[in-house]
Amino acid sequence: MTDADTWTRKDLISIEDLNRDEIDMVHTLATQFKQTLGRSQKKLPTLRGKTIINLFIEPSTRTRIAFEIAAKRLGADVTLVEQKASSLVKGESLRDTAQVIQALNADMIILRHAAAGSAHYLARILGIPVVNAGDGAHEHPTQALLDTFTMREKLGSLEGRKVTILGDILFSRVARSNLWALKKLGAEVTLAGPATLLPDTFAEFGVTIAHDLKSALSDADVVMLLRIQHERQSSSHFPSLGEYKALFGLNAERAAWLKPDALIMHPGPINRGVEIDSSIADGPQSVILEQVTNGIVTRMAVLYLCMSAAARGKGQSNG
């Protein structure tokens, strides 16, 4: 893995920071890891003896489990720290919690936090690697790495490919990370959704803005649906889930506007019958479950690369 030796980041905070070569490096390594998945003995000894802390200050199922499995496949020990079971509820600051974890000889922190910039903040404070597992509405870099990995598996190069991201863009870290990743990989990005969840200012990111579903779907090679994040919104963002479904939900009728070979993706969790109907989510164009599986190998690649950079002592902080 000579390629991997050129990776210099101990932290993965955002896709915005990465260059095209770095994304390629993660995907190349993930492909190699994927070949090991079929084996009966799935564990690799690469990170044996390393302790990784899953510091999850916000609820998560698939991301947390995928990171845990990825770390264990590489032989690391994983400990989960959740907000309700930590001293954070006793008023301990994030800085102090993280420093305690570092003092317990942890080798890496994987952070999920509701505040944008929190991973950036920890990386600035800590010497050990920090991997961002989602910081507020800012970024979810490993999600974009697994999404683009999945697209590349299916489509080959993303150069000139059209990707539509549909849904709650404003509050979505997945949309932001994918936007950077897709642009770096040469794809053309359309963001679609209700105006209140998709401010026109997004056009300044070099993407197309669409409020009309037909135009957003008809020439897309990939459509990525996003969940409506009620927990982050005030009631003023749109009338109701019913109205959302009526105007923006992907049902069979609208799916017919798609090219027959267009991929349908969703980072999960899915609200069936709201942003996507079951027949589409479970249909032949859907790669939603493959995304989940690919989440393991891409995260193995990230953990391996960041840990190796830290071990080589040339780890760059994003701080």
Partner 1 sequence: MDKILWIQGGRVVDPANERDAVGDVFIRGGRIVGSLSEAELAKADIIDARGLVVAPGLVDIHVHLRDPGQTHKEDIGSGTRAAAAGGFTTVVCMPNTSPPADNPGTIQRIRDAAARRAVVKVYPTGCLTLGMKGEQLAPIGSLKRAGVIAVTDDGACVQSNEIMRRAVEYAKMCGLVVMDHCQDAAMTEGAVMNEGYWSLRLGLKGWPASAEDMVIARNVVLSRHTGAHIHLQHVSSAYGVDIIRRAKKRGIRVTGEAMPHHVFFTDESCKTYDTNFKMNPPLRTEADREALIEGVLDGSIDIFATDHAPHTPDEKDREFDHAPFGIIGMETALAVFLEVFHHSGHADLPFVISRLTHKPAEILGLDAGTLSPGAPGDVVLFHPDETWTVDGARFQSRSRNCPWHGHSLRGRIRRTLVNGVTVWDGERVPDDVPAVTV
Residues that bind partner 1 (CB under 8 A): 16, 93-95, 113-118, 120-121, 135-139, 170, 173, 176, 199, 201-202, 204-205, 234
Nearer CB in complex with partner 1: 175/223: 175
Rounded to the nearest whole angstrom, what is the least distance from the CB of residue 138 to partner 1 in the complex?
3
Rounded to the nearest whole angstrom, what is the least distance from the CB of residue 152 to partner 1 in the complex?
25
H-helix or E-strand containing 133? strand 130-135
Distance (Å, whole) CA 77 – CA 12 = 20
Choose among 185, 189, 184, 181: nearest CA to 158.
Answer: 185
Rounded to the nearest whole angstrom, what is the least distance from the CB of residue 192 to partner 1 in the complex?
16
Nearer CB in complex with partner 1: 40/234: 234
Nearer CB in complex with partner 1: 200/253: 200
Nearer CB in complex with partner 1: 121/304: 121
Rounded to the nearest whole angstrom, what is the least distance from the CB of residue 310 to partner 1 in the complex?
22
Rounded to the nearest whole angstrom, what is the least distance from the CB of residue 120 to partner 1 in the complex?
5
Helices 141-155 and 288-311: angle between axes, nearest 10 degrees: 120
Choose among 219, 249, 9: nearest CA to 119.
Answer: 9
- Tokens 């190349």 found at: 28
- CA–CA distance from 253 to each of 211, 221, 256, 259, 263 (Å)? 17, 18, 5, 13, 16
DSSP readout, 195-208? GGGS-GGGGGGS-E
Rounded to the nearest whole angstrom, what is the least distance from the CB of residue 69 to partner 1 in the complex?
27
Rounded to the nearest whole angstrom, what is the least distance from the CB of residue 31 to partner 1 in the complex?
30
Nearer CB in complex with partner 1: 107/139: 139
Rounded to the nearest whole angstrom, what is the least distance from the CB of residue 215 to partner 1 in the complex?
22
Nearer CB in complex with partner 1: 115/311: 115
Cβ atoms within 10 A of the Cβ of 228, count?
A: 23
Q: Running DSSP on this structure, what letter comes out for residue 272? A: B
Nearer CB in complex with partner 1: 50/227: 227
Instruction: Say if residue 141 is preceded by a cis peptide, omega within 30 of 0.
Output: no
User: H-type helices in 62-159, by residue range?
Assistant: 62-73, 94-103, 118-125, 141-155
Q: Is 243 helix (H, G, I), strand (E, B) or coil?
A: helix
Nearer CB in complex with partner 1: 72/124: 124
Give the angle subtended at the CA of 12 by the CAs of 207 and 95, to the nearest 5°: 115
Helices 20-37 and 173-184: angle between axes, nearest 10 degrees: 100
